[in-house]
A and B are shown apart, each in its own frame.
Chain A
Amino acid sequence: MPKHEFFVDMTCEGCSNAVTRVLQKLGGVQFDIDLPNKKVCIDSEHNIDTLLETLKKTGKNASYIGEKSA
C-alpha cells in the first residue's frame, strides 16, 4: 500500500494529539506523526482528499507532500 506524506502545521503535543484523534476517528488508517518536522505519514485505503480534509479538521494548515517510497 502506498504511504502518503502530509505536511501539518503542528507546534506541540496537543496539536499532534488532535491529529491522532481525528485520524483514529476516520478509521482504517495507519500513521506516523513526526512532530519536529511537522509531517504525518499515512498508510491508508482512503483517498488523499479524504485524508487531507480530515487533517484540516484540526484547524491546522495541512498540505499533501507526496507519496513516500518505503
Chain B
Amino acid sequence: ASQPLTQVVVINIEGMTCNSCVQSIEGVISQKAGVKSIHVSLTNHNGTIEYDPLQTCPEDLRSAIEDMGFDASLPAQPS
C-alpha cells in the first residue's frame, strides 16, 4: 500500500487577537476534508497546516480561513 500523501502549507493569518480566535480557526479548519493537522500561532500570525493534496489545496484552505472572517494569505510561491 502506498503512503498517503501529506503536504504542508503555512498560511499568513491576520486579525487574530486572542487564543479563542486561534481555537476557532483550528477547530473549523481541522474539520475540513483533507486536513490532517493544523497548528495556528498567534505570535507569528500564521497557521501551519498538514493536508492531503488529493483532497484539498492551499487556496482552498486559505479561502476557508477567509470565510471565517480573518485575513488569510498564502506565502509567495517558491519558483
How near does chain A come to B27, taking the closest CB pair, in angstroms? Answer: 5
How near does chain A come to B70, taking the closest CB pair, in angstroms? Answer: 6
Please give the number of chain A residues whose Cβ is less than 8 angstroms from any Cβ of chain B in the complex. Answer: 16
Main secondary structure of the interface of A (DSSP, over half): helix
Quick check: A17 and B18 within 8 Å, CB to CB?
no
**Inter-chain pairs besides A22-B69, A59-B25, 8 sampled, C-beta below 8 Å:** A13-B17, A18-B68, A22-B68, A57-B68, A58-B24, A58-B69, A59-B24, A60-B24
Given A59-B25, A59-B27, does the pair A17, B69 have CB atoms closer than 8 Å?
A: yes
Quick check: A14 and B21 within 8 Å, CB to CB?
yes
The number of inter-chain residue pairs (CB within 8 angstroms) is 48
> Contact mask A1-31 → B, CB, 8 Å, 1/0?
0000000010111110111111000000000
Which B residues contact A (CB, under 8 angstroms)? Answer: 15-18, 20-21, 24-25, 27-28, 67-70
| Bound CA–CA A14/B28 (angstroms) | 16
| Bound CA–CA A9/B24 (angstroms) | 10
Q: Which residues on A sit within 8 Å (CB–CB) of B21? A: 12, 14-15, 18
Given A59-B27, A59-B28, does the pair A12, B18 have CB atoms closer than 8 Å?
A: yes
How near does chain A come to B59, taking the closest CB pair, in angstroms? Answer: 18
